[in-house]
Structure 1
């Protein structure tokens, strides 16, 4: 039985998710209790050293950056996704994420953006540092990386086995005690930061209530639960403090938010070493007195951290820790700067940041997935109803390699050399129109649940390890390029020839020839239908849009969400930046019958509605046929646009009424000002000397009025000599 034979029929659509036979998955040994996991958020400003024409928006820049990273940084290093337009897929803790950051985001190049790391375990021989250096090496080589006062570095820290109440209390007490030393470590522009307020002075339980540090530490000692400590350190469920405890209950993570912006991997390592060393030292303290015996200055903090330095490879590297203290004196300490009342502009920006964080927090999602993996059993059974679990396990096998292997593989940066290096390890054949591609199951299955099911279930594909794809050849090539690089080009990468073969005397080749002739015939029909719209059938613009539309169809067919998002974004960008009504009509005539993705139909409906007054589109819908499929989406878009126009009209009417009212108020005030001015003029002209009879000074003067009545000019003159005073 073939998968393709099942999914072709809409009646068999439910069979796209077949049962998977019970399988036992052997995971690597889980991390020991107490192992620290870290995730790093870095806000910075990037400018491409070789700008691309398409980098005209943050969305396009982020997509281009992620695609370039995935082509340049070899597996098994983590991949990179752009979440600026929700283009992520797969287990979230495996990849670097590019996300919007309200605090440093810019409207044009150079672009302010945030990069979220995968979750790494600090374990002996772990290669997490190499993974960070690879990605930062790519950034420094291809982009100018800078940071200003709006940029920051946050370190999230979890431990396998969760934090105990005592550990949370000791960490909180150490934070309060050593706050003056941490203030001295920070650049001046990072102090008094509303996104990382002091846990003591800007805290309604402590500083606002005039509670001293000593009393605050004692108050923390009286806490009997983790929840009580969290409320004292982060009142009102706010994460915007130097140390954020809000993630402890759900994610077992504490966040250090005081790091300045990083512009290199060394900067990242310095903040990671400081945060993790402080965490390790604090959770090992037996009493609050053992913390307070150290002075709360730079010298005391160095002594405190020196108790638990761990230079085990894969765990710590103390040279980065001591780099952080370079240029400081042991006696240095600073009191935190209170935030006080925010300006309207800062308050608005903070509110926008809070709203954005409430919608999504990629780093906490990463931690949740990684925590589940770390606490999983040695053997996980996948039953017939858990296809999703099988799909995730394929991905997790890659993630475990990334997080725990002692050394990274050093494969080539180019797709061509990667395919050369792995050509002998192919275990899957993909066939399209008689052309065969030697692929790798772990790459293919990591992206598609449908293909995972076909290769693991009761299908012929599982036995033959061959998948037939009934799409045009170029689309399949682009699909393979996407699987290996995370993106695709309109002209497929020539390197794919390395894994391509064409059997001789195969009937499928004849079928491909027939298909090619058919497509040429279709081009001819299209040219007739579109009259003088195009020369030589479908023009280049239409070819580009058709390419992305077919990739969207292929992504929908094999359930590859990330490819679907990328192809749809490329299609929308092309439609909006290179509008051509003839090309749009050609796209609809060529692809409309193939499209099953609602998102694509909605996009095409929106575009058609925006240009409904163009005669070519009107004639196309008037002719009926396949264009009728799009009519409901066009109608929906028109209704939406009509409602938006009505709402804008109501808003404009309300604003006009408001402006009329404000104008009336201003006219009333102006009339009163004029009345007051006339009274002043009258007083000046009526008095020539002081009312005090003992004062002999004269002060007689008058206003000389010039100009029209509606806009007079007043000149102050002396009543005696008519001298002009200005």
Structure 2
């Protein structure tokens, strides 16, 4: 089905073990590999070796941008399998199992350095975003940028890892939303969309299109959500991204968009007007509860030398480690083998 999107989740968190483990020499034992097995086999025996396909596993990795409060905390990024977003999907249960598995031995915390990233791709039987759909998504991002700012907490606004796609972008800064939409309409390829929306290939924006450069393994990534310490802090954002992208896909013209106010209320009306199979409306409503109006996006402040170096380090790290994309590549390859 055209609504069977594929999703991937990256969860950044800080862990404090309830009990320190020591090796035979008396030194502190780094039990990250043990945790990796536990998450890898979420809900199963943590010492069991998984035999699942590479795209069907959970992964645990480090991230240089996660800053612990203290020496006792361990930064962690947990990367989901590639899930199908459908009525039959187990992704809600799997997310809950991962949190439950981690909580057996760790307390989970998040600070302002932690974020939650959601990737979304087209269905496996049609794994390339059409240029028409990409343009619709971009127009909707610009139209509702202030409403999305109102949904996220203060520390995720003007954030160096999730900049606003318009005012944080040297190619679009100072331009009106109408002018930005006109530039989107002039794009002739997915690569041109990525160039425009991500300032000629920089991925640290609220909506990251740079994976479109990879063709069949294309995902659109939402990076502005805050870190989560429990399932209900994570799953509503996945529901939001899927619902927003689907509603955008169904809105093929600027005329069909301007009927919606650029406020939280207008955004809610926009993404709930269509029925997306597999969606859980109750989770989505959690994001909108108590939120109203809109917040004008702000440009990123000047970065310190240390922050610029950290961005460069992170960029190099991503070139070596893009787990969601690797899993998606495996999935597409497996699908093609089945089809042939």
TM over 0.5, yes or no? yes
Distance 1:71 1:224 in 2: 43
8 Å contact kept, 1:69–1:80: no
Question: Which residue is equivalent to 1:367?
Answer: 328
8 Å contact kept, 1:140–1:264: no
> What secondary structure is seen at the aligned counterpart in 2 of 1:235?
coil
Q: CA 1:41–1:131 in 2, change beyond 3 Å: closer, same or farther?
A: same
Question: Which residue is equivalent to 1:190?
Answer: 156
Q: 2:282 aligns with which of 319, 325, 338?
A: 319
- Quote the offset at 1:306 in angstroms: 1.2
Question: Which residue is equivalent to 1:358?
Answer: 319
Distance 2:236 2:31 in 1: 28
- Quote the offset at 1:179 in angstroms: 0.5
Question: Which residue is equivalent to 2:7?
Answer: 38
8 Å contact kept, 1:136–1:265: yes
- Quote the offset at 1:157 in angstroms: 0.4
Question: Which residue is equivalent to 2:206?
Answer: 242
Q: CA 1:370–1:80 in 2, change beyond 3 Å: closer, same or farther?
A: farther
8 Å contact kept, 2:39–2:59: no
Question: Which residue is equivalent to 2:81?
Answer: 118
Q: Which has the higher contact order (CA 8 A, sep 6+)?
A: 2
Distance 1:166 1:120 in 2: 24
Question: Which residue is equivalent to 1:95?
Answer: 57
Do residues 307 (structure 1) and 307 (structure 2) align?
Answer: no
8 Å contact kept, 1:80–1:96: no
Distance 2:321 2:12 in 1: 16
Q: 2:91 aligns with which of 106, 109, 128?
A: 128
Q: CA 1:377–1:69 in 2, change beyond 3 Å: closer, same or farther?
A: closer
CA offsets, 1:456-501, max 9 Å, x none?
Answer: xxxxxxxxxxxxxxxxxxxxxxxxxxxxxxxxxxxxxxxxxxxxxx
Give unmatched runs, 5+ long, in structure 2.
Answer: none
Q: Paired residues, what number?
A: 331
Distance 1:352 1:91 in 2: 30
Structure exhibiting the larger radius of gyration computed from Cα positions: 1
- Quote the offset at 1:68 in angstroms: 4.3
Distance 1:305 1:294 in 2: 10
- Quote the offset at 1:70 in angstroms: 6.1
8 Å contact kept, 2:260–2:266: yes
Distance 2:91 2:262 in 1: 32
8 Å contact kept, 1:239–1:245: yes
Do residues 61 (structure 1) and 31 (structure 2) align?
Answer: yes
Do residues 179 (structure 1) and 145 (structure 2) align?
Answer: yes
Q: CA 1:316–1:71 in 2, change beyond 3 Å: closer, same or farther?
A: closer
Distance 2:266 2:229 in 1: 29
- Quote the offset at 1:309 in angstroms: 3.8
Q: How does 1:423-442 map to 2 (within 5 A)?
A: none
- Quote the offset at 1:177 in angstroms: 1.0
Q: How does 1:494-513 map to 2 (within 5 A)?
A: none
CA offsets, 1:303-338, max 9 Å, x none?
Answer: 10111243x4xx211111110111112xx2111121
CA offsets, 1:58-112, max 9 Å, x none?
Answer: x92311212445687228x9x898xxxxxxx974312111111111054832111
Q: 1:74 aligns with which of 44, 54, 63?
A: 44
8 Å contact kept, 2:40–2:57: no
Q: CA 1:56–1:177 in 2, change beyond 3 Å: closer, same or farther?
A: farther
Distance 1:246 1:72 in 2: 30
8 Å contact kept, 2:21–2:30: no
Q: CA 1:65–1:217 in 2, change beyond 3 Å: closer, same or farther?
A: same
Q: 1:335 aligns with which of 293, 296, 311?
A: 296
Q: How does 1:152-551 map to 2 (within 5 A)?
A: 152-160=115-123, 161=126, 162-207=128-173, 210-250=174-214, 251-310=217-276, 312=277, 315-329=278-292, 332-378=293-339
Distance 2:138 2:66 in 1: 29
8 Å contact kept, 1:80–1:97: no
The alignment's TM-score, normalised by the length of structure 1, stands at 0.43
Give unmatched runs, 5+ long, in structure 1.
Answer: 1-31, 82-88, 381-726
> What secondary structure is seen at the aligned counterpart in 1 of 2:108?
strand
Distance 1:293 1:80 in 2: 53
Distance 1:371 1:68 in 2: 26
Q: CA 1:370–1:236 in 2, change beyond 3 Å: closer, same or farther?
A: same
Distance 1:139 1:122 in 2: 24
Q: CA 1:126–1:67 in 2, change beyond 3 Å: closer, same or farther?
A: closer
> What secondary structure is seen at the aligned counterpart in 1 of 2:200?
helix
8 Å contact kept, 1:66–1:80: no
8 Å contact kept, 1:174–1:291: yes
Distance 1:352 1:148 in 2: 21
Distance 1:101 1:165 in 2: 33
Q: 2:102 aligns with which of 134, 139, 144?
A: 139
Distance 1:102 1:182 in 2: 26
8 Å contact kept, 2:40–2:58: no
Name the one with the larger helix percent: 1
Distance 1:284 1:56 in 2: 58
